[in-house]
Amino acid sequence: METVNKEYLGVPASPGICIGKAYLVGSREFQVKKTKLTEAQVEKEMARLQAAIDATRKEIQTIKQRVGQEVGFSEAEIFNAYLHILQDPLLIQAAMDQIRASRINAEYILQEIAKQLIGQFKDSPDEYLQERATDINDVVARLLRNLTGQPMDLLSEVEDDVIVVAKDLTPSQTATMRRERVIGFTTDIGGKTSHAAIMARSLELPAVVGLKNLTEVVQNGSTLIVDGTAGIVLINPNGQMLAKYRHAQQRMEQWSRKLKKLKGVTAVTKDGYRLTVAANIELPEDVRQARKYGAEGIGLFRTEFLFLNRRDLPGEDEQFEVYQMVARQSLPYTTIIRTLDLGGDKFLSRLGTTTEMNPFLGLRGIRLCLAHQDLFKVQLRAVLRASHFGKIKIMFPMVSCVEEMRQAKALLREAQKELGRRRVLYDRNMEVGLMIELPSAAMTADILARESNFFSIGTNDLIQYTLAADRINEKVAYLYNPLHPAILRLIRQVVQAGHNERIWVGMCGEMAADPQLTPLLVGLGLDEFSTGPAFVPQIKKGIREVNFAECRELAEKVMACTTSADIEALLKSLMKNEVLHDSIIPKT
């Protein structure tokens, strides 16, 4: 019996609502037989494998060129990773060696080696690395197709408007699909950094990922509602739900047109209080989205992508090219580059660190960088060099005490001296700040402010560490509450400490993207909001529709509350902002 009006929750990957028919894309398993070769057949088998590699390389280069022309050259850079895989000795050379040693056919050997490599990535505790297993899987699937002649699922043949439903979507699948026919994506696996999510955001198509088993319950042609903003998928909705979401679609389109008018406006309250609304980005190509939505610069550039999904470490020149490109594209605004923020468990093969019992409380962020100073200084030199080509500020993550901040700044000075000896130009007045994301940093913000040019409050970790509640653990998720009085007191304390030392204070965590909290955060004295690019217009709108004086009064009332429930009730009763009370997403 077909599922009716069933709701599934996943990860909101690309905002918007679409309603349409499901187009199920299967994960085709190649049927590969194990064949024993004679000694005379080995060289012919090697030549057959090389021919498949050459054909696959041409396919990928063609796809890369198409994506560059139709979507953007930044998005096309995804396929460089594919080309690197075709040269990876752990895959290609290992396959050739085993063919010679075992005299087994190429497709069988290739599939077995790929299974091992993919398993290693999927077993990683890091979500990003788990998703990169898709790259290997896609490349190997193309190699196997070229070896065996077996077909693959092609989205280029779609004839009707559809919502693609897949266990996962590879970059080559999304690159070759008929874009005028695909109106949305859903995938069983993946997160916000998966290729499907990145492509959906680039194409501005609603998408929900991480749905676990949706492909097992959806049938081709089923009616779907995909709410990429809330992370909801409805299968065969009833008439009432269809009516609600169609109305929501219309509202969202009206809202989107209204917000687009805010692209060039400043974030200033009715009584003249000026704030900055910047964007958080994870990849260089996200700069285009930030500019499109009117972000006033980059408030957080996460640099981890440079260090993941590879077996070597990025050099100074490679990092410099990326940083200066982002800084140039962000002009005339500023780019804040956060130094490497990864845990030791993600660098086992490259830095020789050991697996930790609790990596969230272990060697991560600035701790890891201070423990591996050569790695850190490479990044510092790259950032400094890039500062000559744009307005760059540097920010250190996971700082817990003033000693760490001083050590980081000392290494920055060493990097400056090294560039000076090389006669390399850099911005000698580049501002240096830190993320406030640990309770110890918030409690000593007055001390840290004397060592900093700015603060940026990372509320995701600040909430998690303050309340000892893992936000991805469903058993304690109810405790993860941004309106807990302790969190709001820490935010106010950090803002006051920064302003007392005449430095500005921003916020780059999820709280900054919540329009219902905008008046409160304005009232607490924030100078900058940094959010995902798509949220920039509504945060600007929220700021422009309030009076700073009234927001200050609201903040005082909120700070007098003793429970989260009291605070939430107060916000609901006092807020008259359209953003707060006129939700465009229907409750289901």
271 close to 552: Cβ distance less than 8 angstroms: no
pLDDT of res. 502 = 97
Comparison of pLDDT for 262 and 94, the residue scoring more: 94
Task: Indicate whether 441 and 571 sit together in one domain.
Answer: yes
DSSP for 525-540 reads: T-SEEEE-GGGHHHHH
The answer to whether residue 283 is domain-embedded is no
Mean pLDDT of 48-70: 85
Q: Final residue of a domain: which of 191, 215, 239? A: 239
- Residue 138: give its domain's CATH number: 1.10.274.10
pLDDT of res. 131 = 60
Q: Final residue of a domain: which of 404, 430, 456? A: 430
Report CA Rg, the chain.
Answer: 25
Helices (H), 224-315: 239-260, 286-292
Model pLDDT for residues 87-133, shown as the tens digit of each residue: 888 889 999 999 999 999 999 999 899 888 888 777 665 555 666 67
Task: Indicate whether 440 and 553 sit together in one domain.
Answer: yes
Spacing of C-alpha 336 from chain mean position: 16
- Residue 20: give its domain's CATH number: 3.50.30.10
The answer to whether residue 272 is domain-embedded is no
pLDDT at residue 523 greater than cutoff 50: yes
DSSP for 29-67 reads: PP-----BPPGGGHHHHHHHHHHHHHHHHHHHHHHHHHH
pLDDT at residue 580 greater than cutoff 50: no
pLDDT of res. 476 = 66
Model pLDDT for residues 560-570, shown as the tens digit of each residue: 999 999 999 98
Strand partners, 12: 208
143 close to 165: Cβ distance less than 8 angstroms: no
3-state SS, 405-472, equals: HHHHHHHHHHHHHHHHHCCCCCCCCCCEEEEECCHHHHHCHHHHHHHCCEEEECHHHHHHHHHCCCCC
pLDDT at residue 588 greater than cutoff 50: no
Task: Indicate whether 91 and 141 sit together in one domain.
Answer: yes
The answer to whether residue 294 is domain-embedded is no
**Mean pLDDT score of the chain, rounded to an integer?**
85
pLDDT of res. 581 = 34
pLDDT of res. 324 = 96
Average the pLDDT over each of 208-212, 369-373, 478-482 and give the range with the smallest value: 478-482
Q: Final residue of a domain: which of 377, 398, 430? A: 430
pLDDT of res. 128 = 57
Report pTM: 0.68
Euclidean distance between CA atoms 248 and 10, whole angstroms:
19
pLDDT of res. 357 = 46
By C-alpha distance, which of 539, 379, 514, 399 is closest to 461?
A: 399
Catalytic residues: 195, 508
What is residue 511's DSSP assignment? G
pLDDT at residue 161 greater than cutoff 60: yes
Comparison of pLDDT for 581 and 554, the residue scoring more: 554
Task: Indicate whether 92 and 132 sit together in one domain.
Answer: yes
Euclidean distance between CA atoms 560 and 535, whole angstroms:
29
Tell me the one-letter amino acid at 576: K
Task: Indicate whether 495 and 575 sit together in one domain.
Answer: yes
pLDDT band for position 49 (50/70/90)? very high
Mean pLDDT of 247-262: 81
Assigned token pair, 429: 């007045």
Task: Indicate whether 405 and 510 sit together in one domain.
Answer: no
pLDDT at residue 359 greater than cutoff 60: no
Task: Indicate whether 477 and 559 sit together in one domain.
Answer: yes
Look up tokens 């400490």; give the residue: 497
The H or E element containing residue 18 is strand 17-25
pLDDT at residue 271 greater than cutoff 70: yes
- Residue 314: give its domain's CATH number: 3.20.20.60
The answer to whether residue 465 is domain-embedded is yes
Model pLDDT for residues 415-427, shown as the tens digit of each residue: 999 999 999 999 9
Task: Indicate whether 371 and 446 sit together in one domain.
Answer: no
Task: Indicate whether 189 and 230 sit together in one domain.
Answer: yes
Comparison of pLDDT for 345 and 136, the residue scoring more: 136
The answer to whether residue 282 is domain-embedded is no
The answer to whether residue 261 is domain-embedded is no
Percentage of the chain surpassing pLDDT 70? 84
Average the pLDDT over each of 262-271, 328-337, 402-411 and give the range with the smallest value: 262-271
Task: Indicate whether 139 and 232 sit together in one domain.
Answer: no
Task: Indicate whether 544 and 465 sit together in one domain.
Answer: yes
Instruction: Give the structural domain span for 389.
Output: 303-430
The answer to whether residue 103 is domain-embedded is yes
pLDDT of res. 268 = 95
pLDDT at residue 534 greater than cutoff 90: no
Task: Indicate whether 452 and 517 sit together in one domain.
Answer: yes
- CA 132 → CA 118, 119, 482, distances in Å? 9, 11, 31
The answer to whether residue 195 is domain-embedded is yes
Comparison of pLDDT for 485 and 356, the residue scoring more: 485
pLDDT band for position 176 (50/70/90)? low
By C-alpha distance, which of 140, 123, 127 is closest to 13?
A: 127
The H or E element containing residue 277 is strand 274-281
Strand partners, 104: 36
Strand partners, 394: 337, 432
By C-alpha distance, which of 411, 497, 509, 414 is closest to 458?
A: 509
- How many folded domains does the chain comprise? 4
Euclidean distance between CA atoms 526 and 529, whole angstroms:
7
Euclidean distance between CA atoms 524 and 326, whole angstroms:
31
